[in-house]
Amino acid sequence: MKTLKYPIRFLFILLGLFSLFSFCKMKSEEFKKNKPYRVIKTWELPDELDEISGISWLGANQVAAIEDENGLIFIYDLKQSEVVSTLEFADDGDYEGVAVVENTAYVMRSDGLLFEITNYTSDNPEVKTYQTPLDDDNNVESLTYDGAHKRLLFMAKDEGKDSETEKEIYAFDVVAKKLLPFSKLKLDMEDKALKDFEKKKEKRTFRPSDIAVNPKTGAIYILEGADPKLLIMDKSGAVKTVFELDKDDFPQPEGITFTPEGRLFISNEGHGEPATIVEVALKNSF
C-alpha cells in the first residue's frame, strides 16, 4: 500500500490541475461570448508604428499617432490603411500621449513634460514645452483634449503624487497655457468597482495607459495596457464600470480616442504581431 501513496497524491494533483484548467477555460469562453463590447474593424499598422503609444482623431478618416521612441507624429489614414505623412517635433524620447486641437498638437513625454506644437503640419512648427507636476517616477502615458472645458487631461500611470490610493486627473488650460489648480477628478484604487482587480500594492490596481473624453456624454474613459481593461467614469468622477479587454483583441492597449460623433478607437502596441487600431462599439452607453 505504501508504494501507492505518492502515485495517488500525484493523481489528485493532476485532477486538481485539470479541474482548474477546465474552470478557467469555461470562464474564458463565457467572457468571450459575453464581451461588453463589439469589435467593428481592426487595422494592422506598419512596422514604424509597432510601439504606438497614443492616438488622436483628426477627422477625414485620419488619426494622429505617436510611438514611444521617436519625436515624430504619424498621420494614419484609416481609409487608405497607411501612414500618409510623418512630422518631426523633437529628438528621440519616450512619448506616450497625443491630443490635437485644431492646428496645434500636444504630446506628453513619460517624465511629465508636455510639448505644444503649433502649426504641427507646417515645415516650421513652433514648439514649446511645459513641465507638469509629474516626473519620471510617475511614468505618464495619458493625454486627451476635453473640448467642453478647453483643457487637456492626463494622469500618472504609476506612483500617485500625493496618495498611495488615489490617482488625480490633472488638467491643463489650453487657452491660458497653464495647469489648473485642481480638476476635482480622482481615481480611487479602493473604489468598489475595482474590487476584483485589487493588487497587493494598491497603486498598481489600475495603471492608466491613456485617457479620452466621450464628446457625446462627457464620460471619461481610462485605459490600462498592462492588464487590458477599460474604466469609465462620469464627468463628476464617479466610476460607472470597469471591465477586462480580451487580449485576442487588445494585446496591449495604449491609445484611445473618440470622433466628434462618438465612435471609439483603441490602439495596441505590437507583441510579435502587427500593432493595431481597433474600432469598438460598447454594448451599453455611458
Q: List per-residue pLDDT tens for the chain, 286 residues long.
A: 445 454 666 565 556 555 554 444 444 444 456 899 999 999 999 999 999 999 999 999 999 999 999 999 999 999 999 999 999 999 999 999 999 999 999 999 999 999 999 999 999 999 999 999 999 999 999 999 999 999 999 999 997 555 778 999 999 999 999 999 877 899 999 999 999 999 888 888 999 999 999 999 999 999 999 999 999 999 999 999 999 999 999 999 999 999 999 999 999 999 889 999 999 999 998 8
Fold entry, domain 38-282? Neuraminidase (2.120.10)
* Widest Cα–Cα separation across the chain: 85
Angle at alpha carbon of residue 232, lines to 230 and 237, rounded to 5°: 140
Contact 169, 220 (CB under 8 A): yes
CA dihedral 259, 96, 183, 280 (to 10 degrees): 30
* pTM attached to this predicted model: 0.88
Q: What is residue 123's DSSP assignment?
A: S
Q: Which residues pair with 229 in a beta bridge?
A: 224, 244
d(CA 268, CA 44): 10
Lookup: cell for 193: 468597482
* 65: nearest Cα among 265, 273, 271: 265
